[in-house]
Chain A
Amino acid sequence: MITIEKLEQLGCNTAEGMERCLNDESFYLSLVPGAFERKRYEELERMIGESDLKAAFDEAHALKGVLSNLSITPLLDCVSEITERLRAGDNGDYSAILSRMWEIYSRFEGMLQ
């Protein structure tokens, strides 16, 4: 079960995210799972692997928007870095940052389950 405490333990700035939800805790918590749709992260990885930088950028950018609004800080930092590299047209090696992304993601996934 997702709780504010758990999110904070994982490094989220829940106070900031909650403020955007008018400090309605249950509303905020109801939004959080939407930021962790596994399929979207897999798609991002696939697009980068296929060097489809435009599509990858759109996906990363969208995820960044959601993560930033909810203040899921650790994953946001990671996705932001990917977004900026894609925006710059970087077609290099993303394996390290992707692996970090999955590592952080898995911590949250555990909590979600």
Chain B
Amino acid sequence: MFVTPNFVRIDIMNEFLKDVIKLKRRILVVDDEEINRRMLSKILSSEYEVLTAENGDRAIEIITGERELLSLILLDLYMPGKDGYEVLKLIRETPRLKKIPVIVLTSDGSAEVQSLKLGAADFIPKPYDLPDVILARIEKTIQLYEAINIVKATQFDPLTGLYNKEYFMEYALVMDQFYREREMDAVAVNINRFHILNEIHGRIIGDRILRMIGRALKEYAEEHDGIACRYDADGYFLYLPHGEDVYSGLSEKIKSIEDGIIKNIHNRIRYGIYPRSDRKCDIHRRFDCALLACNSIKGDYKREVSYYDSSMLEFEAYSERLAADMDQGLSEGRFKVYYQPKYFIQSEEPYLSSAEALIRWDHPELGMISPGQFIPIFEGNGMIRKLDRFVWREAARQIGEWKRLHGKSLPVSVNVSRIDLMETGFTDEIRSIMDEAGITPEEFLLEVTESAYTEDSDRIIEVVKNLRSLGMRIEMDDFGTGYSSLNMLSSLPIDVLKLDMGFIRNIENNEKNLKMVELVMNIASYLNLKVVAEGVETKEQYKLLKKTGVHLVQGYYFSRPVPADEMEKILLKG
């Protein structure tokens, strides 16, 4: 039932000791009778290195000095001075010594029981058994203790003292076998952006947090007849009998361990719970499901808990399918860049000012896939980098082509992520793309989301400043969805605020939204920024926005995103 990992297999260890480092295990024989010591030494010396002690004090001296190297102690119980019982008691009560097995040497039946109760591993009667019997008993005892010691040393995570993942899974299976009818919850617990805590406060504080959380989770698990482990750097699993209030219970437990240095650590904890986990599923799979639920809210500051349901698995399979198909889609030209025009509206008649490049995927089997579906997936797995670069190159090439063919310059904006901006050489890459396409920085606009500025803002600001120094214009996308302060906004190197479409929706019926837009216009005016409104769908919205002074609009009212050939017609129409 219990699978011992290969690296703790005792026969492998024996082979290593014997054949690789040519080591004989060391045994201490403690007996006040020289004849007994010599006789045992004779029996053991072919297989072991034998040390001897003639009394209890000398034995303790040797044991203390050799503790890491002693494989076994053969201990006579009756000795003058410190007797074998005292030595045995001391060994068993000293944590660093108690892993050494002790076999007692005795001629009394009653002493055998007593010494086993005191923690002796075995006994060898006097007169001694045949040498082969003694050697066999010693070998078995050493093997057993070495296996136990290795298991003890490897089953726990050294930092938190919780089980490690491998043993946790084994013990979870054991629980299933003993409690066949019990419904069990698989729980994944993760610390949101833990690496940032480590970076800001240092590893020592980070480790302290991990230990404190581990301790709290262990307590909770023990109080509820469950088990807990640390499964990776900042993640934990718990396997618990089903409860209706697991989330609130765990959350309360974590809140109770508030640290003096890191305030509100509980706000960073995310819980993924697979309630009444399906026992027909492999135990690893069940925790994958809990983790899937947990990861679904990773980075979401508003949600702390997510419960696994089968749709998550379907979504996971769908995500994997899209990830697997992306490269083929790119090579077969299934990804298309569409363009949505932006119109300047603060003139008598609106006129085409620029456009935004947007990606579309015409999948051979799944049909047209909304970017709202595949972009978050590719952002999550990092594949967005490749797709972004495809869009940048294609948009730049198209701008250049229109310019060459028609002598018309249409600035096009492309989206860049926070990850892109953080990459070394990003500015050079953009410059090279523009050079290759034969376009100017004024023709290539970059849209950066507001949220990109919230972390490592100094670094982002530095990169954006460099880009502007090339003559590029930067649009802050989705403005109003992040948490920019006015103070921060004034220091950001941007040219345009792009109002999130949430403000525009129902603007004609929602006084508050209209007031918000007016407020943003005041701020933009103060900061000397242009404002773009996206998601404009009706004439009424357009009129209201024009009245508030919004400079540019983008949306279905003027045009949906269109393929390059249609955009070309719009461009030519002017």
> Interface residues, chain A, CB within 8 Å of chain B?
16, 19-22, 24, 27, 31, 34-35, 58, 61-62, 64-66, 68-71
Contacts and interface: CB of A to CB of B under 8 A. Distances in A.
Interface stretch (B4-12, B29-37, B311-319, B496-504): B29-37
Contacts of A70: 35
A48 to B, nearest CB: 17
B126 A65 contact: yes
B54 to A, nearest CB: 12
Q: Could you say which of B39, B76, B131 has the most chain A C-beta atoms within 10 Å of its C-beta? A: B39
B43 A62 contact: no
B32 A66 contact: no
Nearest to A83: B107
Contact of A35 (B35, B126, B130): B35
B130 to A, nearest CB: 6
A24 B43 CA distance: 11
A22 B35 contact: no
B539 to A, nearest CB: 108
Given A58-B78, A64-B107, A22 B131 contact: yes
Given A68-B127, A69-B126, A69-B128, A21 B39 contact: yes
A5 to B, nearest CB: 21
Contacts of A34: 34-35
11 contacts: A16-B127, A19-B130, A22-B43, A24-B42, A31-B35, A58-B80, A62-B32, A62-B33, A69-B35, A69-B39, A70-B35
Nearest to B33: A66
Q: Could you say which of A20, A58, A64 has the most chain B C-beta atoms within 10 Å of its C-beta? A: A20
Contacts of B459: none
Given A27-B42, A58-B78, A20 B34 contact: no
Contacts of B203: none
Contacts of B18: none
Contact of B127 (A20, A21, A22, A27): A20
Given A62-B78, A65-B107, A31 B126 contact: no
Nearest to A70: B35
B39 A20 contact: yes
Contacts of A35: 35
Contact of B78 (A61, A66, A68): A61
Nearest to A69: B127
Given A20-B127, A20-B131, A65 B42 contact: no
Interface string B25-62: 00000001111101100110000000000000000000
Q: Could you say which of B35, B80, B107 has the most chain A C-beta atoms within 10 Å of its C-beta? A: B35
Nearest to B43: A22
Interface in B444-484: none
B43 A65 contact: no
Contacts of B126: 64-65, 68-69
Given A21-B42, A61-B78, A65-B126, 13 more contacts: A16-B127, A19-B130, A20-B130, A22-B43, A22-B131, A31-B39, A34-B34, A58-B78, A62-B33, A66-B33, A68-B107, A69-B35, A69-B127
Nearest to A71: B127
B114 to A, nearest CB: 14
B236 to A, nearest CB: 55
**Minimum-distance CB pairs A-B, first 10:** A68-B127, A34-B35, A65-B126, A66-B35, A69-B127, A31-B35, A66-B33, A20-B128, A61-B78, A68-B126
B281 to A, nearest CB: 58
A81 to B, nearest CB: 14
A91 to B, nearest CB: 20
Contacts of B78: 58, 61-62
Nearest to A57: B78
Contacts of B107: 61, 64-65, 68
A51 B449 CA distance: 98
A31 B38 CA distance: 8
Contacts of A71: 127
Contacts of A24: 42
Contacts of A64: 107, 126
Contacts of B128: 20, 69
A65 B77 CA distance: 11
Q: Could you say which of A16, A19, A66 has the most chain B C-beta atoms within 10 Å of its C-beta? A: A66
Q: Could you say which of A21, A61, A62, A65 has the most chain B C-beta atoms within 10 Å of its C-beta? A: A65
A36 to B, nearest CB: 11
A38 to B, nearest CB: 16
Contacts of B33: 62, 65-66
Nearest to A61: B78
Nearest to A35: B35
A82 B510 CA distance: 109
A47 B34 CA distance: 22
A26 B573 CA distance: 117
B99 to A, nearest CB: 28
Contacts of B130: 19-20
A71 to B, nearest CB: 7
Interface in B540-554: none
A61 B130 CA distance: 21
Contacts of A61: 78, 107
A51 to B, nearest CB: 19
A56 B78 CA distance: 12
A69 B129 CA distance: 9
A21 B80 CA distance: 26
